[in-house]
Amino acid sequence: MTEPSTLVVLPVLTERNRHFWQGGAQGHLTFLRCQTCGYYLHPPIPVCPVDQSKDLKPEAVSGRATLASYSVNHHPWLPGFELPYVVALVEIPEQPALRLTTNLVNCPLDEIEIGMALRVVFRHFEDPGGDVWLPLFEPDGDRP
C-alpha cells in the first residue's frame, strides 16, 4: 500500500528508531536486538537492560502477532483518521510482553477476537524527512 503523505501523523525519524519505521521497505518488522543475550529492546535504547551490552543490531522478526487487546475508537481525536478505527495492542511472539500499539486492519468489527492470530502489513508514507512504513496488523488467514 502506498499513501500520499497528507493529513497523517508520522514519527520523527532518528538514528535510534529508523530501523523500526523503515523496516517495512524490505517487508520486515524489525526490532533492535542484543547480540550478546538475544533480548529485543523496544522502544529502542542504546544499552541492553539485561546485560548492559552495547552490541545491538536491528533484526527482522516473523511479523506474526496475536491480538492482546483492542478498542474500536469512535472519537475524532486527530485529523485524518476515518472513524471508527481499531487501535490494537499486539503481542509479538518472539519475546514475552513485547508488544506494539498499532491498528487492526482488514478485519470486520464483529470478527475481532482477543487472542486471534495476526500478521504485519505495512502502510507506506512518502515523506521528505525519510519514508515511513507503519506496521499495521491484519488477520492471519494461514493460522487458526
Binding site for other proteins (CB under 8 A): 5-12, 14, 17, 42-43, 68-75, 77-79, 81, 85, 87, 89, 97-103, 114-115, 127, 129, 132, 134, 136
Task: Identify what 53 binds: Zn ion, other proteins, none; CB under 5 to 8 Å per kind.
Answer: Zn ion
Is residue 41 close enough to count as binding Zn ion by CB under 5 A? no
Q: Is 53 in the site for Zn ion (CB under 5 A)?
A: yes
Closest distance between other proteins and the C-beta of residue 60, in Å?
19
Q: Does 51 bind Zn ion (CB under 5 A)?
A: yes
Put residue 39 in one of left, alpha, beta given phi > 0 → left and psi -120 to 50 → alpha. Answer: beta
- Report how far residue 59's alpha carbon sits from residue 41's, in angstroms, rounded to the nearest whole number: 11
Calpha distance 102→133 (Å, rounded) = 12
Q: 24 to each of 1, 39, 74, 79, how far by Cα in Å?
A: 11, 21, 28, 24
Nearer to Zn ion, 50 or 72 (CB): 50
Partner whose footprint covers residue 116, from other proteins, Zn ion, none (CB < 5 to 8 Å by kind): none
- Where do we find the cell 524489525? 30
Cell for 72?
474500536
Q: How far is the CB of 89 from other proteins (least distance, A)?
A: 5
DSSP 65: E
Judged by the rule CB under 5 A, the positions of this chain that interact with Zn ion are 34, 36-37, 39, 48, 50-51, 53
